[in-house]
Amino acid sequence: MQVDAGRFLADLHKLREFGAAGVGRGVVRPAYSEADMAARDWLAQRMREAGLRVEVDPMGNLFGLADAPSLLMGSHSDSQPEGGWLDGALGVIAALEVARASREAGGPAISVVSFQDEEGRFGVTTGSAVWGGHLAQDVADLLCDHNGVTLGEARSVVPATGDVDPVQFTGFIEMHIEQGPVMDSTGEQIGVVSDIVGIRDMKITFEGQQNHAGTTPMALRQDAFQAVSTFNQALAERFANVVTPATVWTIGHVSLHPNASSIVPGKAVFSMQWRDGDADRLGRMEQIIRDLAQEVADARGMRVSFGKMLGLEPVAMDMRLRKALETSAKTVAPNKWRVMPSGALHDATNVSRLMPVAMLFVPSINGISHAFEEDTDEADLVAGLKVLAGAVAAL
Ligand code: GLV
Ligand code: MN
Ligand code: MN
Ligand code: MN
């Protein structure tokens, strides 16, 4: 099988134009936005040109199907509110190129997928979570984004054609950028993923008393932002005996009400997310979070409430698929590859409920992702494509 690096790079740059945040920068292509839907339209066209049959499921997951049984490959083409050009897009376009090249060479049947809302406008990897049976559609439909729009409302723009039965697929391989600093610092080109971390994510709300910022003495305030700040400060201390250097936690979204300079905020809603490779540890962290938030609220005479907790368990990659990637990496990038865990979440986690899965990483320059500056050397992008093609041919 002969992959065409020029065709692959041209398609990757074409996809970058949808929701482009400026020349040579990242993209703004959140799930179900105009830019996302236009990109999916174009992708569907490219899939048809590659001889694949297009299906869009009710969530908006876009499939380019080869004759069954086939190997499924891909990732996602939605982005973070400020996203890089490769996060997800790389895995979709690499899959498209391998499917095309395999078909041209009379090789194995490869289907391609771009999952919807991997970046969690509504939850955590929502599109593949629904397709993988981790999340029921009617439950998912009630999830809200930060502006109060429900997933059920947002997905009304999906040109759904029908459900896609997973039994036709023999396995799933997802190529992705590393999104961290490991390979950039070692000069390696290929990461074969061993496992993907688990995640927990929920909204927490502190409610106090909205009041005048000039007349309310500091000691008498029930300031919701101060509660968030105290909580955040104390959290690291409470976690100290529980976490490892690989554990991470993030408050990435805070909304203050009413969010005005001269008003003591009466209400703060914030996202609390934590990740680790050990499900027990995630559970212990949850207890600490709940206890601490309650303590902070009690100390200030305020109320705290917890939203629905979303989560995914840590998963290991399938050994047979993983070995095929390792063997191919040895040929394409001798001494420049490694086995590594993934600290980012991926659609592969959800798909692993349905079939064997494996993942392949290429480096991220300066370890930056979920930012407009995200980038990867062209030589590494092409090396990843070749490893993928080699593994598929061997399988
Ligand atoms: C998904 O992009 C994640 O947050 O890991
Ligand atoms: Mn991604
Ligand atoms: Mn991402
Ligand atoms: Mn992601």
Could you write out the DSSP letters of every residue in 23-72? TTS-B---TTSHHHHHHHHHHHHHHHHTTPEEEE-TT--EEEEPSSSEEE
- Cα 345 to ligand 1 centroid, rounded to whole Å: 5
CA distances to 156, 221, 334, 364, 376 from 128, rounded to whole Å, are 18, 44, 33, 24, 25
Q: What single DSSP character describes residue 309?
A: P
pLDDT category, 139, cuts 50, 70, 90? Answer: very high
Determine the CATH number of domain 198-309. Answer: 3.30.70.360
Q: Where are the alpha helices (DSSP H) in the chain?
A: 5-16, 34-49, 89-104, 126-131, 137-140, 151-154, 182-186, 224-239, 279-299, 319-332, 347-351, 378-394
Nearest ligand 1 atom to the CA of 275 is 5
pLDDT tens track for 318-364: 999 999 999 999 999 999 999 999 999 999 999 999 999 999 999 99
Closest C-alpha residue for ligand 1 atom 2: 119
Is 14 a residue whose pLDDT tops 90?
A: yes
Give the confidence band of 235 by pLDDT, cuts at 50, 70, 90. very high
Peptide bond into 69 cis (omega under 30): yes
> Would you say the CB of residue 344 lies under 6 angstroms from ligand 1?
yes
Q: State the pTM of this model.
A: 0.94
CATH superfamily of 5-197+314-393: Zn peptidases (3.40.630.10)
179 CA → ligand 1 middle, Å: 9
- Ligand number nearest CA of 89 is 2
Tokens of 196: 């993907």
| Separation of alpha carbons 226 and 152, rounded Å | 34
Nearest to 358 by CA among 199, 112, 193: 193
Q: State ipTM.
A: 0.90
The rounded mean pLDDT for the chain is 97
Mutate which of 345, 347, 364, 374 for ligand 1? The one with the most ligand atoms within 8 Å of its CB, which is 345
54 pLDDT above the threshold of 90: yes
d(CA 53, CA 44): 9
**Cα gap 275→249, rounded to integer Å:** 6
Q: b or e along 240-268 (b: 16 or more beta carbons within 10 Å of the residue's beta carbon)?
A: eeebeeebebeeeebebeeeeeeebbbbb
Q: What are phi and psi of 264, to 5 degrees?
A: -65, 120
- Nearest of 387, 395, 385 to residue 100 by alpha carbon: 385
**What is the distance, to the nearest Å, from the Cα of residue 219 to the centroid of all Cα atoms in its chain?**
42
Query: Could you identify the atom of ligand 1 that is nearest to the CA of residue 80?
Result: 2
Angstrom distance (rounded) from CA 127 to CA 62: 10
Of 68, 75, 74, which is closest to residue 109 (Cα–Cα)? Answer: 68
Q: Where in the chain is the domain with CATH 3.40.630.10?
A: 5-197+314-393
**pLDDT of the residue at 105:** 94
Looking at the chain, the domain(s) classified CATH 3.30.70.360 span: 198-309
- Annotated ligand binding at 146? The verdict is no
CA distance 308 to 211: 29
pLDDT confidence tier of residue 23, bands split at 50, 70 and 90: confident
Q: For ligand 1, atom 1, which residue shows the shortest CA distance?
A: 345
Q: What is the dihedral of CA 147, 150, 156, 157, to 10 degrees?
A: 30
> Tens digits of per-residue pLDDT, 276-288?
999 999 999 999 9
What residues does the ion ligand 3 have nearby, CB within 5 Å? 87
| 50 alpha-carbon distance from chain centroid | 26
Pocket test for ligand 1, best of 82, 346, 349, 369 (most atoms within 8 A of CB): 346
> Does the beta carbon of 119 sit less than 6 angstroms from any atom of ligand 1?
yes
Inter-residue contact 98 to 73 (CB < 8 Å): yes
CA angle 38, 42, 353 (to 5 degrees): 90
Residue 345 near ligand 1, beta carbon < 6 Å: yes
